[in-house]
Structures are given as structure tokens and as C-alpha cells.
Amino acid sequence: MNDSEDIVRLESVEKTFRDFWLRPTVKAVDGLSLSVRKGEVFGLLGPNGSGKSTTIKMILGLLSPSAGDVRLFGLPPRAIEARRKLGYLPELSYLHPFLTAKETLRYYAGLCGLKSAEAKERTTQLLEMVGLADVAGRPVGGFSKGMARRVSLASALVGRPELLVLDEPTSGLDPVSTKEVKTLVKALAANGMTVLTTSHLLADAEDICDRVMILDHGKSVAEGRVSELGTSLEDFFLAKVGDASEFRLAPFLG
Amino acid sequence: MIGFAKVFWLEIVSLVRSKTLVMLAVASVAWMFAAPFIAKGDGTADGAREMFVRYSLGGAFAILLVSLLAAATGSLARERAAKRLQLTMVRPVNHMLVALAKTAALTLSGASVLALCCILMPFAPGVGDGVLGRQCSHVLKPRLPSPRDEARDMYDAYMADPETPAAVKKAKKSVVLRLLENRAVDHYQTIATNDTVTWRFASAGTAAEAKGLAVRIRFTNQFDVRQDVRGELRIGPLSGVVSNITKAVVTVPLSRRAAEAGVAGAADGLSFSNKGSSALMLRPRKDIDLLVPADSFAWNLARAYLELVSILAIAVAFGVFLGASLGRPVALFVAIVTLVVGEISPSVIEQYPDELETSVADRIGLVLTRFAAEVTRPVAALQPLGRLASDECVEPGETARVVLLDFVAVPLALALLAGLVLPRKQDGL
């Protein structure tokens, strides 16, 4: 693999949040470098507050890095050409409550530049794929969390993206739906789609990721192929991040 | 234009399905029909009609303006707070078009409700039958040097005058010029008994050929209107008799009486001969209007409608821009304060002339108010409703200028700014 096949590339990226008076409050990402290669499923793992979501938002162009360089398809993340090849599933389903499932998908299809006939066909196809064809005409405001999540996933895929960014993709899903999502991600990757995902659920990440990076306090503490870890991802993760729970809980457990 | 149509459609769907549009329409139309029962006319049919046109349509417009301004501040700010905006931001859409689409959708909603109000206005109680067919008039003002030019001409003499207060002599030239300019607007002309004065008008020669020409004179100064005010007006072959007993404003129709008078007035000038027993004081810039027949109230209403929609567009664009830059509560606060300051600043400036700038606080307040007035004047100095109510022509040229500036140029510029601010504001997520 060479640099030209890097779909996502971060070099020495830093992100410092500031207060109203521009005083630094927290350094969420500290000198992070990573690359996601074409066709792989890359997992960004780490405890809460480790900088995963901030990193994802910088890759999506929703946040500007304080230092360093972020490239998406070799372009700045806010370039329209880069965004044309991007699909994004946020951590929670932020849907327009007045729209039906079908309207939601057609809205995002329109934003991705799909023509009307193609958008219609793609919408029908995706609603069937996520199992919501029967409720396509219902407003999503009345959907359960799991159903809303499926609509969001379909919305992320509607523009036929080359890179799919998933922020906690199985969050809020029941075990059956979780398995479906994992199967879907594997199938998409098998068809050549590049996937960048974050997850708290290490077992899920272990199932779908080719390569993972573990973040802690905004820094990369480990990176490697899942197949080459030589141990379970959970053990590897705890060894790198540190299992403080026994020490912290000891006074309460007697 | 990818995304524009979709964001526009989404905004319209949200307004319709959240019932915002229906509520706006009901509130505006309800006011239209309730206003005549609240506002009281001056007892005459014309006074009542003027009052009802002004307050029924004006009230409905005010409801729309404030509601749409509030909705506009929330259209981006609320979506950002609900984190839905990021799903649009990561799509291949120009952010300026997102802001522009929201502005267009909200403006169209307001324009639809306002159109409904305009269509229903002739049926509102008190407006009167046949209002749509009433004739309106072009209002021509005497051709005089501009108040600014007059102020410049007066400056040296005023500063050399020993009666000019010392404080004024120490003031900056720009302040003194502003003071003199304000005075020039109210410059009085004294017309002694049996004297004749002539005021020139642009295109008065053509106007003199028109049927139904009239002159409107205001006697609203300290002059006691109960005194004997008599005189004769002439323009070309037309003349009219002024005889004012109790009215503060008289409209004198001019008719062809050349044979009777024996002499014709100047073709481009309106002359007035004071035949009363005492001298008259008039402010030519404010008190003399030549009324030239124009088209009907219906056409006037159509032009006023375009101007009102343009004001809505600029308010909405400003609200959307604020929503792109600030959180919803702050954006709403800034929008309402700007609206209020923009509305009241001209009267504050008029009532607090430079002479009253005695304390630092007064000076700071007036500097800020003047700044607000200067900034908002190009877009806020519109009074289509006042002209519509008093049968004055909303001039097509002015309507075109207003539409170009307020409906097209300024909203485009604000959408461009919003598009630049939007991705940077995401840093606040």
C-alpha cells in the first residue's frame, strides 16, 4: 500500500478546545497521525474522552484541527469533491421528525446529487435492505431507537459512498440488529468500500475491523491488524489503556 | 444548485407539518378582520379607510415580520443544537446554498400569507367598497437644493454669526453641517399678503397636461390654522383656490380657468398668491406636494406587496445569518434588538438633535443610534403602507430598487456570509 491509496490521512493533528476568551480548556487530540487505506475496515477505539469523536469530526470537516493536516481522498475534508464520496452515521440518530423514512432518504439522496429516478430506486432498495419498507410512509419522529438507527444507516449509504464513517454503529441496537449491521459492514467492505468506525464494544470491533488504533488522552497508544494481535482485542485494549477499575472500585467493594 | 431545492423543500415541509404556516395565516387574517374594531378613524369615510388599510395590513405584516424573524434565527441554530445540521454539512452541498434555501423558503411562506392578506383586505370591514379601483397619485416635491447642499452654503455665514452659540462654534464641522441640514429640511418660507411665490417641479410641464392634477398643502406648523388662509394656485393653464378654515391639510384640485384669470402660470412652476389677511409660513420641502394622477389602488397594492415581501426577505436573511453565527437565544435577542433600534432610531435622531448632546452618555447613545440608522436606512426607510393608505403612488422605480437591493442583493450577501460562518461555527459543537 502506498500513500496514494490512503483514503484518510492525518498527520500530527492536534485539537485544542478553547473557551469564550480563547483560553485553552482541553486538548482533545494530541499529535495524532493515522491513515486509512482503501477497502479496509479501520477501527478507532478508546475509552470515553479519548478523542475518538473529535478525530471523526475533523475527518468529516465538522471541526478544524488546531495543528497538523487532515486529508480525505487527498483533499481538505471540506472540499465538495471529498464530501461527494463520504457517508456518515453519527452516534445518535438525528433525523427530521416531520419527514417519513422514504422522504428522509430521498432528501439525503438529493443532497448527494442523485437524480430523481435514481434517488427513488436507491431509496426503495435501501429501505428493503434495512427492513423498513413496510413503514416507509411513517414519520420517523414516531420510530423506535433501533428503527431510527436503521434509517440513519440507510441515509449514510444513499449516496453510494466510497468511505463510510460510522460513529458507534451498533449503539442502541438489539442483538439481532447488531448482527445485521456487522454483516452489512463486512459485505460493504468485501465490495470495496472503506469503513472507518469507532466503537466501545470491543467484541463488535474485533468482528468487523481489519485494523485498529487505540486512543487514550488524544494520543495513539497502539495500532495494528486485529489478526496479528496474538490475544483478544479486549485484553489488548486493557493492556494498552490500563485497567484501573479494580483500584478505583476497591474501597467500595471492601 | 445541488441541495438548494432539497433544503428549500425540507424547510417548507417543516413549516407546513409543524403547523407554523397555518398558525401564521390564521393570526394574520384574524388581525386583518379584527383591526377595524380596534382602530378608530377620524369620523370621515376617507379617514376610516386610511386607518384600516394602514392598521389591518400593517398589523398583519408586523405579525409576519416578527414571527419570520424568530423562525429564521432558529432555522439553522436549532438544527445545529439538535445536531441535524451536521448531516447536511457533510454532504456535497455548498453551505451558502443551505442558508439561501432556508431564506427563500421562509420568505416564500411569508409572501404567501401576505398575499392572502392583500387579497382579503378589500373585504375587511371598514376598508370600503371599490377600494381597488381608487386612483392614486404620484407625489412631486418642489425642486430645491438638497438640505445637504443648503447646509454647506449656510455653514460659513452661520459660523460667523455672533449669535451662534459658542459650543456650536467649537463643534466639529460634520456635526455643525448635520445640525444645519436638519434645519434646512424644516426651512420656512414666509409669504406676505398679496405676495406670489413659485416652486419649480421636475416634469411639472407634462403633469400640467394631466387631468385631475391637485396640490396638497399642509398647515401643520405653529401657524394658527383657524386664521384666514386664502390664496390661489397656478400651474400652466390650471388654477385652484385655497380656502382653509379648519383643516390642517388641504388638497386643492386644479382646473382650467385660464380665460377667467387672464394669465397663465409658468409651465414647470407652481405659483401661490397669498390673498389672506396675514403672512403665511410654509416649509416647501414638507408642506407642498403636487399630486399627479397615477394608476389604481390595486396596482399600488401590488407594488406595496413587493416592497413588503422584500422587507420580509431581508429580515429573514438577517435572522438566518444570525442563526448561522450564534446560538438561538442570542440570535433571537440580537435580531429583535436590531429590529427595534432600526425602527426607532430615525425618530430618536429627530427628537434628540445635536444640541442635546451634552453628556458623554448622550453622545455615545446618539453615535450608536446614528450608526444603526445609517446602516438600516437603505433597507428600512420604506413606508409603502403609509403611501398605500393615503393613495400616494408606490413608485415603480423605487419598487424595482427595493426588490433588487432588499430581495436579491442583501439576502445573497447575507447567505454568502452565513455560508462562510457555518463550517467555522461547527467548531463550537
Mutation target vs B (from A107, A112, A114, A162; most B CBs, 10 A cutoff): A107
Residues A52, A153 within the same domain: no
Chains A and B form CB pairs within 8 A to the count of: 77
Contact assignment for B86 to A61 by CB distance below 8 Å: no
Number of domains within chain A: 2
Least confident span in A199-203, B149-153, B250-254: A199-203
Contact assignment for A60 to B90 by CB distance below 8 Å: yes
Residues A155, A193 within the same domain: no
Residue B323: what pLDDT?
Answer: 94
Average pLDDT (B170-180) is 84
Average pLDDT (B56-77) is 92
Q: What is the pLDDT of residues A55-101, one digit of tens each?
A: 999 999 989 999 999 999 999 999 999 999 999 999 888 899 999 99
Would you call B157 an interface residue with chain A, using a CB distance cutoff of 8 Å?
no
Average pLDDT (A227-242) is 71
Residues A166, A68 within the same domain: yes
In DSSP terms, A224 is beta-bridged to A212
Residue span of the structural domain in which A62 resides: 1-85+162-243
Residue A1: what pLDDT?
Answer: 42
- Determine, yes or no, domain membership for A169: yes
Residue B208: what pLDDT?
Answer: 62
Q: B428 pLDDT band (50/70/90 cuts)?
A: very low
Q: What is the pLDDT of residues B277-296, one digit of tens each?
A: 888 888 888 888 999 888 88
Residues A227, A105 within the same domain: no
Give the DSSP letter of residue B55.
I
What angle do the packed helices B4-17 and B95-120 form, to 10 degrees?
Answer: 50
Q: What is the pLDDT of residues B372-423, one digit of tens each?
A: 777 776 666 557 888 888 889 999 998 999 899 989 999 999 999 999 998 8
- B373 sits in which H/E element: helix B360-380
Average pLDDT (A186-212) is 87
CA distance A250 to A243: 13
- Determine, yes or no, domain membership for A91: no
Contact assignment for B91 to A63 by CB distance below 8 Å: no
Q: What is the pLDDT of residues B95-146, one digit of tens each?
A: 999 999 999 999 999 999 999 999 988 887 777 677 788 888 999 888 888 8
Q: What is the pLDDT of residues B337-385, one digit of tens each?
A: 888 888 888 777 777 766 556 678 877 888 888 887 777 766 665 578 8
Q: Which residues numbered 89-128 in A keep a CB inside 8 Å of some CB on B?
A: 90, 92, 94-96, 98-99, 103, 107-108, 110-113
Q: Please report, to the nearest 10 degrees, the dihedral formed by the alpha carbons of residues B128, B130, B135, B141 taken in order.
A: 10
CA distance B403 to chain A (A): 30
Q: Does pLDDT of B245 surpass 80?
A: no
- Going by their DSSP bridges, the two strands A67-72 and A41-45 should be labelled as unpaired
Residues A183, A238 within the same domain: yes
Comparing A137 with A93, the larger pLDDT belongs to A137
Residue B270 near residue B234, CB atoms below 8 Å:
yes
Q: B314 pLDDT band (50/70/90 cuts)?
A: very high
- Determine, yes or no, domain membership for A252: no
CA distance B138 to chain A (A): 49
Residues A130, A184 within the same domain: no
- Determine, yes or no, domain membership for A19: yes
CA distance A175 to chain B (A): 26
- Determine, yes or no, domain membership for A8: yes
Question: Which of A140, A159, A178 is the C-terminal boundary of a domain?
Answer: A159
Mutation target vs A (from B90, B97, B421; most A CBs, 10 A cutoff): B90
What cell does A220 get? 495513539
Residue B354: what pLDDT?
Answer: 63
Residues A57, A171 within the same domain: yes
Contact assignment for A112 to B92 by CB distance below 8 Å: yes
Q: Does pLDDT of A242 surpass 50?
A: yes
Domain CATH for A57: 3.40.50.300
Residues A237, A120 within the same domain: no
Domain map of chain B by residue range?
4-134+296-428, 188-282
Residue B418: what pLDDT?
Answer: 93
Would you call A22 an interface residue with chain B, using a CB distance cutoff of 8 Å?
no
Contact assignment for A98 to B18 by CB distance below 8 Å: yes
Average pLDDT (B213-222) is 75
- Determine, yes or no, domain membership for A176: yes
Contact residues, chain B, for A78 at CB < 8 Å = 423
In chain B, which residue's Cα lies nearest the Cα of A92?
A: B83
Residue B429: what pLDDT?
Answer: 41
Residues A15, A127 within the same domain: no
Would you call B93 an interface residue with chain A, using a CB distance cutoff of 8 Å?
yes
Residues A118, A6 within the same domain: no
Contact assignment for B18 to A155 by CB distance below 8 Å: no
Q: B315 pLDDT band (50/70/90 cuts)?
A: very high
Residues A193, A80 within the same domain: yes
CA distance B237 to B283: 25
- A211 sits in which H/E element: strand A211-216
Average pLDDT (B164-181) is 83
- Determine, yes or no, domain membership for A249: no
Q: Which residues numbered 15-44 in B keep a CB inside 8 Å of some CB on A?
A: 17-18
CA distance A107 to chain B (A): 6
Contact residues, chain B, for A64 at CB < 8 Å = 423-424, 427
Question: Starting from the edge strand earliest in sequence, which strands make up the sheet with A6-18, in order?
Answer: A24-37, A6-18, A67-72
Contact residues, chain A, for B22 at CB < 8 Å = none
| Main-chain dihedrals φ then ψ at residue A225, nearest 5 degrees | -80, 140
Residue A155: what pLDDT?
Answer: 94
Residues A75, A129 within the same domain: no
Q: B15 pLDDT band (50/70/90 cuts)?
A: very high
| Main-chain dihedrals φ then ψ at residue B238, nearest 5 degrees | -100, 150
